[in-house]
Structure 1
Amino acid sequence: MGNVGFFSNAFFGFILVFLTLCHISRQFGSYKYLLVNFQVLGFIFATFEYLFHTFLHTYNASLIYFSFSRPLGLSNFTMEWMMGIYTGLYSATICQLAIQFIYRYWALFDTPKIKYFHGWYYLIWVSYYSFFGVLWAFAVGHFFAMDDFGREYLGGEILLRYERNITDIPVLGLIAYEGNSIRWRNVYGLSLMTLISTIQYSIILICGQIMYEGMRIKLSLLSAQSRRLHKQFFRALVIQITAPTIILFCPVFFMIYAPFADLEISFPSCIIQSGFTVYPAIDSIIMMSCVSEYGRALKKVYRNAKKFCAVKIPKDVSKDVVGANVITTKL
């Protein structure tokens, strides 16, 4: 599934970035930087999955995160931090969606603040999603690192289900309990992840609610083209955050908190995880489907390509060919 996610994101992401930068950048203004940045980050996210092939497995009071790959001969310790960075990229994508909601909110209700998306000010937003991405990666890589108890608790399960020794593969794990006590180390990591998600979703919900309630009045003051673009971008953002939240993010957070129920269960969670590999590509499709400018630009590119590839035979050459055919027939 990682291969599908990588190549589908490379294909659809390239189309969206190409159309945004080469054909419709004027209509989007500084918003184009957010769109391109989101696609680039999504491609890096899919590349990590393609290289490291990570897996999730739920077992009783734990959630196991591991990989059988070892690109470039990396050590288990390095691989575990690479896996942590991979989850940090997921956090950064959620942060970027929150930033897009802030942009759309300011574009409608506080236009002068759009200047903070121009020039060096844009580094503010790069620092924003980078900070939370690093914080999330640290939470996973540090607080979910294996100790002696974790290896003893999970070693038999990994050997039974995957026929691998836990000491031979990079493994991270959230284990809720150690005997009758809560493993606070894992709780600290989970709390950081929950805090980061809560901040981003709060921004999304607040900006989205205000835009929904006040959009009708504000849009009436804009030109027809600007009004259409704002509506389409808002619709795309709502779908971009609603669909993956219901299909992907909610199930994942259920899996993360499930260990605290201490259920006697054991099943691979790769089906849910596989959705993350294709999510960036799905996001590109959502944006191009909701914003009509992409459809028009794509049709224009197709027409130009068709004209370029069409073979035009000069009239005099055509006559010579016809004449040669006649002579050949007579002979």
Structure 2
Amino acid sequence: MYIHWTNHYFPKIFGILSFVANPIFMYLIVTEQKSNSIGKYRFLIFFFAIFDMSYSTVELLAPVVRLRFGIFSVFEDNLQGIHGTGAAFVVCLTDGPFYGIKNLHLAQLAVSIRCGCISLSYGILIIHFIYRYITLFFPKLVASIFQSTGCICIFLFFITHGIVWAGVCELFLYGDNEMRDYIRDAFQKDYGVDSYDIAFLGAIYMEASDQVVERSWAGILILTGISTYAVSLYIALGYKIMKKLRDNPAMSVTTKNMHKQLFRALSVQTIIPICISFSPCLVAWYGPVLGFDLGMWNNYLGVIALSAFPFMDPVAIILLLPAYRNRVFGVVPKAPVIVPTLVTRSSHRWTTTANVLAH
């Protein structure tokens, strides 16, 4: 199902770039001689890199596109408008090994898992914020985080986000015959595809049976709640972390600078999914209801932005952490300047003085 060249090629390009950037990032983590400066936090960012590549793998196996069905629009220029008098959006499989298979339930599950990766990105960022919060407020607990029990709790917390999101898609946003009839003419006209031959998730907000409308709204509101909870937690924990760094005179300058660098990197890591995951999802979910017609952005660029996340994330960290940035760009820190030794003789003893100016 060929939608547009941007949607067809850019996610694949970003997927390949992810498998270039993340191994480089992992190599920097493993070989950094000063890795003790960030302690065991390097294990979390290493896990983040593995997740980024897993995200890209799912993206390549189950590429999707979001198609909007808005209110009081018509089909023009191959951009999705209204079908009937209702409003809906559809996330459908466009390519990959699951496209065109006879078992549409399996293909739909692949789409749900692909969408669940959005929530996994929320979950792993929350873990990073919680870790930074613990290191500042409860440093005695840091050692227990990476013990067996702590690691199990981290993994369960992380994977639960993806399972819940994918489960909501499967239980509330699945494509039944009523939805397939709703979009059939549009798909046949614009893409030459029968809606009964493709796997998709969708929501119809009005002008459908009560059962379909109610479960559509229920699914969208639950997903909105998950997204809002994640972003609110970022803001709340981020505010507390910044306040702690600002109002803690007992912390040494070196330690404070390290925490600031790591928090700055984490903040950028958070801004990326908010801009390219959270915002596009809200536009896709509520645009049809509110009558927003963002044209190509809603149909193509939102999906491209989602696929860019696993590549942009390691690049942002490398650029923001001086130790990694200097190694990638070959910047060698200035060596200390040693002032020539001054030798004096006093009371039959030799006294040697050396002044070292660190840069």
Q: Is the pair's TM-score, using the shorter chain for normalization, greater than 0.5?
A: yes
Q: Name the structure where helix makes up a greater proportion of residues.
A: 1
Sequence identity percentage: 22
1:127 correspondence with 2:153: no
**1:263/1:17 CA distance change after superposition, 3 Å:** closer
Q: Which runs of 5+ in 2 are unaligned?
A: 1-9, 71-86, 333-359
Which residue of the partner structure matches residue 50 of structure 1? 60
Q: Is the 8 A contact 1:83 1:141 kept in 2?
A: no
Tell me the distance in 2 between the aligned counterparts of 1:265 and 1:233. Answer: 36
Query: 1:256-292, CA deviations, whole angstroms, 9 ceiling, x for partnerless residues?
Result: 1223336789766121110111111111111111111
Which residue of the partner structure matches residue 92 of structure 1? 120
Query: 1:44-63, CA deviations, whole angstroms, 9 ceiling, x for partnerless residues?
Result: 11111112221111112111
The TM-score with structure 2 as length reference comes to 0.77
Deviation at 1:180, TM superposition (A): 7.8
Which residue of the partner structure matches residue 63 of structure 1? 89
Q: Is the 8 A contact 1:175 1:259 kept in 2?
A: no
Q: Is the 8 A contact 1:46 1:277 kept in 2?
A: yes
**1:198/1:264 CA distance change after superposition, 3 Å:** closer
Tell me the distance in 2 between the aligned counterparts of 1:209 and 1:114. Answer: 20
Aligned length: 302
Which residue of the partner structure matches residue 193 of structure 2? 164
Tell me the distance in 1 between the aligned counterparts of 2:162 and 2:136. Answer: 28
| Correspondence for 2:233 among 177, 181, 203 | 203
Q: Is the 8 A contact 1:57 1:266 kept in 2?
A: no
Q: Aligned partner of 1:100: which letter?
A: H
Q: Which runs of 5+ in 1 are unaligned?
A: 303-331
Tell me the distance in 2 between the aligned counterparts of 1:279 and 1:248. Answer: 8
Q: Is the 8 A contact 2:227 2:278 kept in 1?
A: no
Tell me the distance in 1 between the aligned counterparts of 2:191 and 2:26. Answer: 40
Tell me the distance in 1 between the aligned counterparts of 2:203 and 2:64. Answer: 15
Which residue of the partner structure matches residue 80 of structure 1? 108
Tell me the distance in 1 between the aligned counterparts of 2:60 and 2:17. Answer: 12
User: Bigger CA drift: 174-183 or 269-278?
Assistant: 174-183
User: Bigger CA drift: 133-142 or 22-31?
Assistant: 22-31
The TM-score with structure 1 as length reference comes to 0.84
Q: Whose relative contact order is higher, 1 or 2, with alpha carbons under 8 Å and at least 6 apart?
A: 1
Alignment of 1:108-257 (within 5 A): 108-120=136-148, 121-179=150-208, 181=210, 183-218=213-248, 220-257=249-286
**1:238/1:138 CA distance change after superposition, 3 Å:** same
RMSD of aligned residue pairs (Cα, Å) = 2.4
Q: Is the 8 A contact 1:59 1:264 kept in 2?
A: no
**1:264/1:155 CA distance change after superposition, 3 Å:** farther
**1:54/1:226 CA distance change after superposition, 3 Å:** same
Which residue of the partner structure matches residue 31 of structure 2? 22
Q: Aligned partner of 1:54: which letter?
A: V
Which residue of the partner structure matches residue 81 of structure 2? none
Q: Aligned partner of 1:270: which letter?
A: Y
